[in-house]
């Protein structure tokens, strides 16, 4: 981990190159209807120049991906996780009905996407207050970029997207703000309690467990997996939640958590934080999810204390 970059995130800002994240254009007169049916958020309610995040789930309400949806004047731009790029278009096409007018194009190899996070983000982009769903156009060096808030980055991060890879890359290079490496980023991500697809977000969990309330609309009507999502909320059937752990004792490869000899959950990510020591993101069962709860890592001498997210909150 790069301690200089880590400290810069606390005092100023860092870039993250996210150009490898999947980016898809979904267009046609039935595009909004299809995306509305396939995700947990209110896609039909988006106006031009607005964005939201939504969970892509199975019919059993299990997580496939957390995606970002941008409504443009002629289409929707979808940003997937990099490890879900290959599955996104085939998955979406499998739900297109006969004669529906929907066109799906992979735009990942064109344009660029960067993330900017840290307390200095507004200084870098000359941003004012940015509403949670607002996409703001920012012009730098004659090039216009689209900026949108996102919960998929730590420290109040924003997406910065451009159709011109060269223009955005040049701006990032000349901004004076460094790029964050993967190891340092992962520490900052875990500290902030940001779940990642393939680690915290898998088919083992549902969006309520992952703390994705902001990506779920309870008023949008029928969609794939909706009945289970609604039932889990209505009848308070969510049995575990994403929590922070402060670890102590010798590190082990075991991920299973115990309390009073009973199953208490499992660890999804572990890091060594310069500020908080050995910490982890874990799914903890409701009976043991209160802050301060003592847990044991199975078949080891390592113990953990449950804490709120983000760490240091």
Which tens digits make up the pLDDT trace of 236-295? 889 999 999 999 987 888 899 999 999 999 999 999 999 999 999 999 999 999 999 999
* DSSP conformational letter for 91: H
Q: What is the CA radius of gyration of the chain?
A: 20
Residue 135 CA to residue 217 CA, distance in Å, equals 20
Contact 178, 5 (CB under 8 A): yes
Model pLDDT, residue 252: 83
In the chain, ranges of CATH 2.40.30.110 domains = 239-307
**Over residues 218-223, mean pLDDT:** 90
pLDDT band at 141 (very low <50, low <70, confident <90, very high): confident
E strand or H helix at 184: helix 182-192
Which tens digits make up the pLDDT trace of 31-86? 999 999 999 999 999 999 999 999 999 999 999 999 999 999 999 999 999 999 99
- pTM of structure: 0.95
Contact 188, 24 (CB under 8 A): no
In the chain, ranges of CATH 3.30.1360.120 domains = 3-182
Contact 77, 61 (CB under 8 A): no
Reduced DSSP (H G I as helix, E B as strand, rest coil) percent helix, strand, coil of the chain, to 5: 20, 35, 45
Residue 249 CA to residue 18 CA, distance in Å, equals 35
Contact 38, 224 (CB under 8 A): yes
Tell me yes or no: is domain 3-182 CATH 3.40.190.10.
no
What architecture (CATH level 2) is domain 239-307? Beta Barrel (2.40)
């Amino acid at each position: 981990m790069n301690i200089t970059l880590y400290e810069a995130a606390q005092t100023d800002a860092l870039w993250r190159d996210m150009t490898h994240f999947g980016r898809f254009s979904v267009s046609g007169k039935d595009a909004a209807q299809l995306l509305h049916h396939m995700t947990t958020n209110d896609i039909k309610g988006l106006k031009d120049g607005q964005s939201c995040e939504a969970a892509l789930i199975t019919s059993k309400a299990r997580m496939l991906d957390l995606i970002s949806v941008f409504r443009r004047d002629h289409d929707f731009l979808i940003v997937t996780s990099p490890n879900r790029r290959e599955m996104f278009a085939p998955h979406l096409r499998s739900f297109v009905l006969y004669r529906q007018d929907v066109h799906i194009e992979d735009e990942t190899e064109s344009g660029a996407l960067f993330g900017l996070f840290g307390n200095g983000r507004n200084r870098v982009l000359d941003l004012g207050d940015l509403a949670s769903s607002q996409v703001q156009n920012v012009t730098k060096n004659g090039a216009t970029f689209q900026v949108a808030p996102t919960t998929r980055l730590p420290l109040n991060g924003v997406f910065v997207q451009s159709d011109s890879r060269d223009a955005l890359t040049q701006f990032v290079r000349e901004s004076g703000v460094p790029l964050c490496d993967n190891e340092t980023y992962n520490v900052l991500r875990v500290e902030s309690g940001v779940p990642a697809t393939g680690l915290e977000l898998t088919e083992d969990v549902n969006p309520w467990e992952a703390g994705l309330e902001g990506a779920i609309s309870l008023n949008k009507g029928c969609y794939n997996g909706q009945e289970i999502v609604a039932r889990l909320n209505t009848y308070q059937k969510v049995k575990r939640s994403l929590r922070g752990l402060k670890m102590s004792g010798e590190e082990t490869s075991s991920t299973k958590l115990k309390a009073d000899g009973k199953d208490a959950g499992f660890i999804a990510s572990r890091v060594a934080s310069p500020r908080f020591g050995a910490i982890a993101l874990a799914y903890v069962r409701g009976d043991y999810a209160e802050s301060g709860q003592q847990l044991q890592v199975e078949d080891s001498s390592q113990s953990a204390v449950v804490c709120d997210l983000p760490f240091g909150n």
